[in-house]
Amino acid sequence: MISRRTKIVATLGPASSSPEVLEKMIVAGLDVARLNFSHGTPDEHRARAQLVRDIAAKHGRFVALLGDLQGPKIRIAKFANKRIELAEGDSFRFSVTHPRDAGTQEVVGIDYPDLVKDCSVGDELLLDDGRVVMRVDATTADELHCTVLIGGPLSDNKGINRRGGGLTAPALTAKDKADIKLAADMNLDYLAVSFPRDAADMELARRLRDEAGSSAWLIAKIERAEAVADDEALDGLIRASDGVMVARGDLGVEIGDAELVGIQKKIILHARRNNKVVITATQMMESMIQNPMPTRAEVSDVANAVLDYTDAVMLSAESAAGEYPVEAIKAMARVCVGAEKHPTSIKSGHRLGQRFERSDESTALAAMYTANHFPGVKAIISLTESGYTPLIMSRIRSSVPIFAFSPHRDTQARVAMFRGVQTIPFDPAALPADKVSQSAVDELLKRNIVNVGDWVILTKGDTYHGTGGTNTMKILRVGDSLT
Ligand code: G6P
Ligand code: MG
């Protein structure tokens, strides 16, 4: 059994699609495989998903699959010669009418006509994640005229953001809608929505997900300035989602890198308070694209996210296109375990002084309070349908492992994202009622997770089906005869 609590999400791509590499990644600790719908074909995604499921099953591991929708990232069109080099002070234009494949040193086409309407004189545009910066000097009906403030190379299809955010493209494109169907067909466990502006965008995604027949949990990527403008906007988006991602790439471009660290802490805190999962993403081990070892700054970044109590840390290009995908997972795993030893990862002040809204929530949180204050407790068993009860539990800081006992494949995979939660397949409905506790504890004993004499907490409900029914907490001693 793995003692690491923080989970690792890794993006799959050309560097991580062979069975050999994927197997090493899964053995090294991959918990959630991310399929990036911005790249690759449906067949490639299907093949990767199948490999992940086969290899995980072979090793008795539970790996969730997350599909990440491309979203309305606004991009420039192409250059006649693929790439240009811009210098500070150069004039440059973005044009709605210029031919799409014939950009020059002076002008390039744009995919998104409303950019011209949305921008005004004085706005700063950030290209290629902020590597090139321009100021808008004039606007016409079909062009933006700009001056280059920070020069550099600019190549085909690079993204454009505006400093301060506010570009209004709707969050779900025609491609995203098709990819939601693909995700449903592939039975993905999570679906990440890119650039949602507000709760309404997530509600639309949820409706499309339902229509497609998927039960994937929806992750809102927090990457627009509007999403973090105030607590109301952020909490609205969080509440409309099942989880969030601190999508530091685009978010950093929109709000500036200086405020990013503080905002990361706030997003994580708000997600947890609202009983949602949270992933911290982008450039966590960026130098490992080329190097087998992370820098001290990267180690510090991952550890900091762990101390912020993120559920998961994520690899992007490091695992999708880098030279060291397996080493990157190993490095992350090592850093997580190290950071988790810090006392702030164990003590909890979660929602002290606040009210709870539900009886299962109250039971789950009581279980965690007991686990954290009764040193004999070595494990928590949570019987669950959907994963909801262990999700609530894992919002609380603790060093006691939480075991989600569920008969359902999708729940077994889903909980792989939750910090401190591991899966044990278990079907209480298949047992006589008076044997359930004993069998559940025996599962832990069989796996050497607990020993005779240890204490274990078990939560369940009165019936063994239907989510939301948790109403019982038992404190059991391993070795006693239990009912
Ligand atoms: C299991 C228990 C039920 C409980 C349910 C909670 O099925 O046996 O008694 O109601 O889990 O599921 P949830 O999805 O709310 O965590
Ligand atoms: Mg992004």
Can you give the pLDDT at residue 379? 98
Q: How many other β-carbons are positioned within 10 Å of the β-carbon of residue 211?
A: 12
Can you give the pLDDT at residue 110? 92
314 within 8 A of 11, measured Cβ to Cβ? yes
Helix 260-273 and helix 231-239, axial crossing angle in degrees, nearest 10:
50
Whether 240 lines ligand 1, by a CB cut-off of 6 Å, is no
User: Residue 296 corresponds to which tokens in the numbers above?
Assistant: 């001290």
* Catalytic residue check, 447: no
Distance 66 CA to ligand 1 centre (A): 24
- ipTM of model: 0.92
Distance 279 CA to ligand 2 centre (A): 13
**Cβ-count burial 140-150 (b if 16+ within 10 Å, e if not):** eeebbbbebee
Q: How far apart are CA 462 and CA 469, in angstroms?
A: 7
Give every CB contact of residue 150 below 8 A, 6+ residues apart in sequence: 88, 131, 132, 133
Q: How far apart are CA 54 and CA 170, in angstroms?
A: 37
Ligand 1 atom with least separation from CA of 436: 8
Distance 88 CA to ligand 1 centre (A): 61
One of 5, 34, 395, 397 is an active-site residue; which one?
34
* Catalytic residue check, 221: yes
Low-confidence ranges of the chain (pLDDT < 50): none
Domains of the chain: 7-71+171-340 (3.20.20.60), 83-162 (2.40.33.10), 359-477 (3.40.1380.20)
Whether 415 lines ligand 1, by a CB cut-off of 6 Å, is no
Contacts 24+ apart (CB under 8 A), 287-291: 288/318, 288/322, 288/324, 288/327, 288/328, 288/331, 289/317, 289/318, 289/321, 289/322, 289/323, 289/324, 290/322, 290/323, 291/324
Contacts 24+ apart (CB under 8 A), 355-362: 358/468, 359/470, 359/471, 360/388, 360/389, 360/392, 360/461, 360/468, 360/469, 360/470, 360/471, 361/275, 361/392
Whether 70 lines ligand 1, by a CB cut-off of 6 Å, is no
One of 46, 53, 75, 158 is an active-site residue; which one?
75
What tens digit of pLDDT does each residue of 115-130 get?
Answer: 898 999 999 999 988 8
Q: How far apart are CA 336 and CA 301, in angstroms?
A: 11
Ligand 1 atom with least separation from CA of 462: 9
User: Relative to the alpha carbon of 393, which ligand is closest?
Assistant: 1
Q: HSE-up of 93 (CA within 13 Å, CB side)?
A: 16
> What are the beta bridge partners of residue 11?
34
Nearest to 254 by CA among 171, 160, 317: 160
**Cβ-count burial 266-276 (b if 16+ within 10 Å, e if not):** bbbebbbebbb
Can you give the pLDDT at residue 1? 56
Whether 252 lines ligand 1, by a CB cut-off of 6 Å, is no
One of 6, 11, 280, 282 is an active-site residue; which one?
282
Whether 461 lines ligand 1, by a CB cut-off of 6 Å, is yes
Distance 223 CA to ligand 2 centre (A): 6
* Catalytic residue check, 147: no
User: Residue 341 corresponds to which tokens in the numbers above?
Assistant: 């030893």
Give every CB contact of residue 27 below 8 A, 6+ residues apart in sequence: 59
Can you give the pLDDT at residue 166? 79
User: Relative to the alpha carbon of 247, which ligand is closest?
Assistant: 2
One of 48, 73, 78, 221 is an active-site residue; which one?
221
- Identify the residue whose C-alpha is closest to ligand 1 atom 8: 464
